[in-house]
Amino acid sequence: MTAHRRIVIIIDGYSTPFVAKTAISILRYRTDDVVAVIDQQAAGQTAQQLLNAGGDIPIVEALSAVNDADALYVGIAPPGGKLPDEWRPLILEALRRKLDVVSGLHDFLTDDEEYVAAAAQSGAMLIDVRRNRHKSTAKRHLFRPGNLRIHSVGHDCSVGKMVTTLEIQRGLAAAGHDAKFLATGQTGIMISGEGVPIDCVVADFVNGAAEELVQQNEQHEFVLIEGQGSISHPSFSAVTLGLLHGCAPDGLVFCYEAGREQVKGLDNVDIPPLADQMQAYESVANLRHPCKIIGIAVNTRNLTAEEADAELFRAEVKFGLPACDVYRTGADKLVQACLVLRAEVIAK
Amino acid sequence: MTAHRRIVIIIDGYSTPFVAKTAISILRYRTDDVVAVIDQQAAGQTAQQLLNAGGDIPIVEALSAVNDADALYVGIAPPGGKLPDEWRPLILEALRRKLDVVSGLHDFLTDDEEYVAAAAQSGAMLIDVRRNRHKSTAKRHLFRPGNLRIHSVGHDCSVGKMVTTLEIQRGLAAAGHDAKFLATGQTGIMISGEGVPIDCVVADFVNGAAEELVQQNEQHEFVLIEGQGSISHPSFSAVTLGLLHGCAPDGLVFCYEAGREQVKGLDNVDIPPLADQMQAYESVANLRHPCKIIGIAVNTRNLTAEEADAELFRAEVKFGLPACDVYRTGADKLVQACLVLRAEVIAK
């Protein structure tokens, strides 16, 4: 996937930020690889205007408006994970034009006979990033001692774990360190070109799939492993813990969204206190490998600048840990926390 | 499955207790429904002599030695989960005789064309208890207030969680309470005729599958939910936590095997201290629903009677909780602990 250099993203009709979050992240982290976004209603705007990411990349009405594309990326993650029926003609047009089609939905392109036939005829590839065949249990691998593992965890879904992880990786790399981002969800895989769609792995093999992903990358000085769900999430905690134990982190970055007190997508379900969650994360992580929370990433998207500063200050005082909003303040404090942890681990 | 009244169990060539544990549990809990066990090497012995369960039920050499059977149960759980190739003629013979064939292996009978054809011809059923199609996420159901949920958890796999759960259910029922055992593994499903093979559910749906199982049974006064794996298990903790959060227990029974200090099936991996595990279980359980450990089930199979008494005494003093070995002492103390918890919950 990282070979794609002229990507068209389709979000047609689904431009609300929560649903188009895959598109937004690709625009943010692969800006130079994207040539257009398809959304009929917003055609003529820029990506920046519509989605607050991607600068001058144009929103276009149809695939025919784009010359010389090499791939079509499905930019949405709708509840239910179905590909909109009305997109079929456009996907077939892309395949006829020999564009690879990349999707992170639960509905697999490669299960659709018409798509498979069209791709076979033109030589285009169908890439379902959520398809997986992981069937091995974790062996409790002893990771290479020089490999430091940092894992983002959260108080809920969709609070910025992937972005936090990417920003820390960028910060470590900018400081001259060998740091690798490891994706565990569809958007992260589309951005980095590899990873494991951990939420689709069969339960017995979740820990194993995470362990294998890290093991394949333990030559790096740092690996930054994208987290999923939450240890307190009534629906997805199995994914969260399997991932946490599989990657056996040395350090955790705890991510939360300021002001979010109920579980996203569930009615009237309170999120447990942050301190209880942090204690639970450290408790279960240490059953596998010595580990502590080294910093906090606060998502302050619903706060004013002044409120955001106050929230970060409060978090630092309350938990005694460095806190950033990686969008507003950058990730420097978290990068620093990774380097401090590394020094501590080496000193042991 | 509970309609089967003349079951033949096949373990042919795999009579070691760890591999034949499915057979042993069926012999123990469905004694009256079993007519024979097939194992060529041990033919002529009784089930009690060979497997320490099942009394006078005969071990026979071949299916032809049994008249009037109604089902063939695969009695083994070999590492890897494959059905032995050499059993094929016998399984086909059973299907021709219109015996239902029941298997809990990962290798599905219903994926085998020859078996499917033979079953179709005779009208026999192929039952893969591990096949599942759970595809819904947990909704954080509010369970009926009068329904008390007790869940067995452990320090490792294969320490007696299923047996403990069954014995507590029997004890509660014998005391006149409406108590239902809920199976979450293949052997439990074969014994009780229903349940969810939780380790084969896709990660995103593990919590949901457990929640649905309990929800379908919340009319009962007590549900006793069989646990799986361990919160500290490097390979299977995803299963354990998804199940724990899905069933939202009021009380936990903590099961461990005396003397087992390393993870079964993994080389040289120490099991974390029991106190740390118990703390972790309570910590994560309370993120979902108020919950505490109410008793301890010690598996003392490797101890003398005297050592076992001492171990139970130590556990009670150390953790301040009632402790039983359900094989040696019965489950009375744990049954009592369930009733005390019920009184506490009602009083709130």
In a domain, B143, yes or no: no
Quick one: B131 exposed, middle or buried, by C-beta within 10 A (0-12, 13-18, 19+)? Answer: middle
A238 within a domain of the structure (yes/no)? yes
ipTM computed for the complex? 0.94
Task: Give me the phi and psi of A224, to 5 degrees please.
Answer: -115, 110
Q: Is residue B1 part of a domain?
A: no
* pLDDT the model gives residue A168: 98
- Last residue of a domain, which of B128, B160, B180? B128
Domain-located, residue B138:
no
**C-beta atoms of A232 and B287 within 8 A:** yes
Let me know whether B158 and B56 are in one domain.
no
The percent helix, strand, coil of chain A (3-state, each to 5) is: 40, 15, 40
Residue A226 contacts residue A161 (beta carbons within 8 Å): yes
Mean pLDDT of chain B: 96
Tell me the H-state helices in chain A: 21-29, 47-51, 88-96, 113-122, 161-174, 186-192, 206-215, 237-247, 274-288, 305-319, 332-347
Is the same domain home to A215 and A342?
yes
Number of domains in chain A: 2
Q: In the prediction, which pLDDT does B133 show? A: 84
pLDDT for A2: 87
Q: What is the CATH number of the domain that holds B159?
A: 3.40.50.300
Asked if residue B214 and residue B114 are part of one domain, the reply reads: no
Same domain, A242 and A317: yes
Is the model's pLDDT at A205 over the cut of 90?
Answer: yes
Contact list in B for residue A277 (CB cut-off 8 A) is 287
CA distance A304 to chain B (A): 30
Q: Do the Cβ atoms of B199 and A200 come within 8 Å?
A: no
pLDDT, tens digit (0-9, with 9 covering 90-100), for A42-64: 999 999 999 999 999 999 999 99
A17-33 tens-digit pLDDT: 889 999 999 999 999 99
**B160 and B256 belong to one structural domain:** yes
Report the DSSP pairing between strands B148-154 and B179-182: unpaired
Residue B234 maps to a domain: yes
| Domain identity same for B209 and B338 | yes
Identify the domain boundary among B128, B159, B182.
B128
pLDDT score recorded for residue B106: 85
Query: Quick one: B95 and B176 in the same domain?
Result: no
Residue % of chain B over a pLDDT of 70: 100
CA distance A252 to A319: 14
Do residues A213 and A305 both lie within one domain?
Answer: yes
C-alpha–C-alpha distance, residues A211 and A233, integer Å: 22
Q: State the best of A235, A243, A291 to mutate against chain B, taking most chain B CBs within 10 Å.
A: A235
Q: What is the CATH classification number for the domain harbouring A103? A: 3.40.50.720
Contact check, Cβ <8 Å, B235/A207: yes
B122 interface with A at CB cutoff 8 Å: no
Average pLDDT on B6-30 reads 95
Instruction: Report d(CA B160, CA A163) in Å as an integer.
Output: 43
Half-sphere exposure of B22 (CA within 13 A, CB side): 26
Provide, as residue numbers in chain B, all residues whose Cβ is less than 8 Å from the Cβ of A234. Answer: 138-140, 207, 211, 245, 288
pTM of the complete model? 0.95
Q: B157 with B303, same domain?
A: yes
Q: Note whether A32 and A72 are same-domain residues.
A: yes
Q: What is the pLDDT of residue A77?
A: 86
Q: Do B140 and A234 touch (CB under 8 A)?
A: yes
Mean pLDDT of B159-174: 98
* Domain assignment of residue A138, yes or no: no
Domain boundary residue, one of B128, B157, B192: B128
* A196 interaction partners in chain B (CB closer than 8 Å): none
- Strands B148-154 and A292-299, by their bridges, are unpaired
For residue A186, being part of any structural domain is answered with: yes
Tell me which residue range forms the domain holding B60: 7-128
In a domain, A142, yes or no: no
Judged against a pLDDT cut of 90, whether residue A76 lies above it is answered with: yes
* Packing angle, helices B237-247 and A206-215, rounded to 10: 140
Contact: A245, B263; criterion CB under 8 Å: no
Same structural domain, B216 and B72:
no
Q: Are residues B165 and B247 in the same domain?
A: yes
The answer to whether A11 and A201 have CB atoms below 8 angstroms apart is no
